[in-house]
Structure 1
Amino acid sequence: MPDRSFLNWPFFEARHRELADALEDWADRELSGVDHGDTDRACRNLVAALGRDGWLKHTGVSTEGGVLDVRTLCLIRETLARHDGLADFAFAMQGLGTGAISLFGTEAQKAEWLSLTRSGKAISAFALTEPQSGSDVANSTMTAVRDGNDFILNGEKTWISNGGIADVYTLFARTGEAPGAKGLSAFVLPAGLPGFEVAERLQTIAPHPLATLRFSDCRIPADAMIGAPGDGFRIAMSVLDVFRSTVAAAALGFARRALDEALTRVNTRRIGGAPLFDLQMVQGHVADMALDVDAAALLVYRAAWTKDSGAPRVTREAAMAKLFATDHAQRVIDRAVQLFGGDGVRSGETVARLYREIRALRIYEGASDVQRVVIARQTLGAHLGG
């Protein structure tokens, strides 16, 4: 039985607890037998189910209140990840893929795409990373050159989640208003345009739809730009500032599932005529796992609560949450595998699946070492500013 006592922490309101209960019931019904054999089809089916039952309406700013509730995003990602990693991925990308439209798009852009992505009728993607500029976004080289009422795109994007199955892409390209970060702009474009091709589908240890995209004289209308020329870097960082905390929440969900699996194992597996849990070494592992889970949860929901409380940016808080939750989830899962012994690396075991799934979270949306740099700079800046 997963621990739910954290829902009583002061970070949450009654509406968050109600949502968590409803989603738990939904996940028990809908995610118990997801077929991952065909990853593309599984993702499409999951997006459709999440949209059909109203969960995707939480993936961005609501049209009613204009509020993006990060605590809700984190609760949803944590719960989905605990049940099924691909379901978490499907939900997360509907938010990240249209985050720039939701936060900075024109009314026409919102009207065209958000109802489709939030109903699960269109799949979205966030195209930022390039072959030579992963974490160093300011050195992106893909270009968008103005030509009358159009822009012409040339270049490549890689490691793009939902690449190859997405219906709409938020893409960042260099428009040249200034060197470095100030010369990037954001665009929204549909799949299937002339000059836009999926150059390669990428296979990973935990299968997800990923691709390298290539643009060769791909023409898009000027009104496809999101925000103003040169605002691309600011838009990308603002979106990541929100969704980085949710990556931490997904890692927390993986860690909670690993702890639950480990607790069942050590309570039912017997050695020397007694439960495995009776060994003090095992108790030490369980204690460390529980400590890592609770510490990660505190950092995740502090970051989310801080953003929801009106902070314009939560760069430091989100970086701390992402770094700690992803790194320590890997440690929790590794301990769970160890407690399972040989069964821990058996194909089909939950802890073996979690072991594969957690690793990528320490890389995407800012690798762990990049988060350390962010935290250090933010900490020094606060010291000098104070």
Structure 2
Amino acid sequence: MTAFSLEPAQLAWCAELRTLAAERLRPLAEKGQPGRVNRDLVAELGRLGLLARLFTSGALVLCLMRESLAHGCTEAETALALQGLGAHPLHAHGTQAQRTRWLPRVTEGSAIAAFALSEPGAGSDAAALGLRAEREGPPGPAASGGPARWRLTGEKCWISNAPEADFYTVFARTTPGAGARGVTAFLVPADRPGLTGTGLDMLSPHPIGALDFDAVPVTADDVLGEVDRGFRVAMGTLNLFRPSVGAFAVGMAQAALDATLAHTAGRDAFGGKLRDLQAVSHQVAEMALRTEAARLMVYAAATAYDENAPDVPRRSAMAKLLATETAQYVVDTAVQLHGARALQRGHLLEHLYRDVRAPRIYEGASEVQRGLIAKELYAHQEAR
């Protein structure tokens, strides 16, 4: 297998996932309440074994799942992705006790996970976060006769699955003034005293909320990875999930392209079919070209991650940037070629038009990806 082609078995699996998304997951998604966690949908993802694949497979498989599910049911794709994003730090850095308690519930779909990094004043600038983790008592576990203890005080905002998640991967500042080097990742169950949340009225089918931490107690037993090394946990998670955000975007772009092919081939206009107009056919060709280019870059970035290549941050950023910008273009063009019908509530493209916008912002906005790409390029040039 190369980064530019899939084996027949992989292609067949993707087709199976698209069918499952359309026939089995979409009906469950339609029964859900917008802005709320659809626990029935998450549980079905668990029964299908897809949540378990988040932690037993590589980046390419994750991308194939997200792309295929997005083609037929964006809600199912997002539910799967948020379980992975929220629980990947636990899988990769958690203690045996943490993993034993939570991972089985995540993979069966009975516990909802969330990734709590963004803050009102620190969205894409993750190193600037201000949620404080204030140590209780003298430093060192032995000094207090037990595990080190902190109190979390501050806010998180724009958190997917908040305030309905069962646990949060929370990034807090344990060393003031240390930038990225002073951040620690904590696993915080939702029922911890002092932790409250409110939902935000967002353009999103899944819940997005704000979290308030009022001296929330955590101990060394809640740390994911090492104290003051939480930024590595965050960036390692994002390096994995950024290409798969691109895969989500590719799935939406392909759905819009498929709808456009069917519409322009069947719609009568100006004495023929829409596809007979060169202006239309050239636009459709451009949509297909950009979608395929984005798909190939996503697969290449995922393969680089699975092979532990040294340029993963750059490839991940490029894949997310190209794919999300491409999907915005493809969906917008599809709406234009469909006309007013595409803006009618309930139309596939009306749905995609709403869902395609956010990926250009979350997990690092497009501008952040460009900055990261440039930084990596110049660092490589200076090292030569």
Write out aligned runs for 1:64-79 (5 A).
Answer: 68-79=57-68
- Residue in structure 2 matched with residue 12 of structure 1 by the alignment: 6
TM-score normalised according to structure 1 size: 0.92
CA displacement at 1:40 relative to structure 2: 5.2
Look up the match of 1:3: none
2:112 equivalent in structure 1: 123
Comparing 275-284 with 374-383, greater Cα deviation is found at 374-383
Aligned equivalent of 1:22? 16
Cα distance 1:297–1:122, how it changes in 2: closer, same or farther (>3 A)? same
CA contact (8 A) 1:178 1:230 kept: no
Rate the CA distance shift 1:177–1:226 in 2: closer, same or farther, 3 A: farther
1:170 alignment partner AA: T
Question: Percent of aligned pairs with the same residue?
Answer: 43
Question: 2 CA distance for matches of 1:11 and 1:176?
Answer: 46
CA shift for structure 1 position 120: 0.5
- The answer to whether the 8 A contact 2:3-2:303 is kept is no
Distance 2:2 2:307 in 1: 18
Matched residue, 1:162: 161
Are 2:101 and 1:112 aligned? yes
Amino acid of the structure 1 residue aligned with 2:156: K
For 2:134, the equivalent position in structure 1 comes to 145
Cα displacement string for residues 202-256 of structure 1 (whole angstroms, at most 9, x for unaligned residues): 1222332010000001112321001111111111001000001110000000100
Which residue pairs with 2:206 in the alignment?
208
Q: Tell me which residue corresponds to 2:44.
A: 49
Which residue of 2 is the match for residue 365 of structure 1?
363
After superposition, residues 199-348 of structure 1 pair within 5 angstroms as: 200-311=198-309, 314-348=312-346
Rate the CA distance shift 1:37–1:117 in 2: closer, same or farther, 3 A: closer
- Structure 2 vs 1, CA of residues 261 and 284 (structure 1 numbering), >3 Å: closer, same or farther? same
Q: Against the structure 1 CA distance between its residues 141 and 337, is the aligned structure 2 distance closer, same or farther, given a 3 Å change threshold?
A: same
User: Is 1:197 aligned to 2:196, yes or no?
Assistant: yes
Quick one: structure 1 residues 110 and 16, their matched pair in 2 at CA, closer, same or farther if it must change by over 3 Å? farther
1:11–1:302 Cα contact (<8 Å) kept = no
What are the superposed Cα offsets for residues 257-276 of structure 1, whole Å, 9 maximum, x if unpaired? 00001111101110123111
**5 Å matches for 1:174-189?**
174-176=173-175, 179-189=178-188
Structure 2 letter corresponding to 1:54:
G
Q: 1:291 Cα shift? A: 0.5
8 A contact 1:35–1:42 mirrored in 2: no
Indicate if the aligned counterparts of 1:241 and 1:313 stay in contact, CA closer than 8 A: no
Give 5+ residue unaligned stretches, structure 1. Answer: 1-6, 63-67
1:97 CA drift (Å):
0.2
Q: Deviations over 1:65-111 (max 9, x none)?
A: xxx41011001100111111111110001100011111111111111
Given the two structures, how large is their TM-score scaled by the length of structure 2? 0.93
Structure 2 unaligned residues grouped into runs of 5+ = 137-143
In 2, Cα distance between equivalents of 1:23 and 1:342: 31
d(CA) in 2 for partners of 1:71 and 1:90?
Answer: 18
How many angstroms does 1:313 deviate by?
5.6
1:159 CA displacement: 0.3
Shift of 1:10: 4.8
Seen in structure 2, the aligned counterparts of structure 1 residues 193 and 9 have a Cα distance that, compared at 3 Å, is: closer
Structure 1, residues 165-222: CA drift from partner, whole Å, max 9, x if none? Answer: 1111100001117611100000001112110001x21122233201000000111232
Root-mean-square deviation (Å): 1.8
Report how far residue 339 of structure 1 moved.
0.5
- Secondary structure at the aligned position of 1:22 is classed as helix
Distance 2:53 2:310 in 1: 20
Q: 1:27 to 1:228 in 2, by over 3 A?
A: same
Structure 1 residue 368: deviation in Å?
0.3
Distance 1:159 1:370 in 2: 17
Matched-pair contact (CA < 8 Å) for 1:138–1:180 = yes
Which residue is 2:374 aligned to? 376
Q: In 2, distance between residues paired with 1:227 and 1:265?
A: 51
Q: Secondary structure at the match of 2:356?
A: helix
Aligned residue identity for 2:46: G
Is the contact between residue 71 and residue 308 of structure 1 (CA under 8 Å) also seen in structure 2? yes
Corresponding position of 1:80: 69
Q: Return the alpha-carbon distance in structure 1 between the equivalents of residues 36 and 80 of structure 2.
A: 15
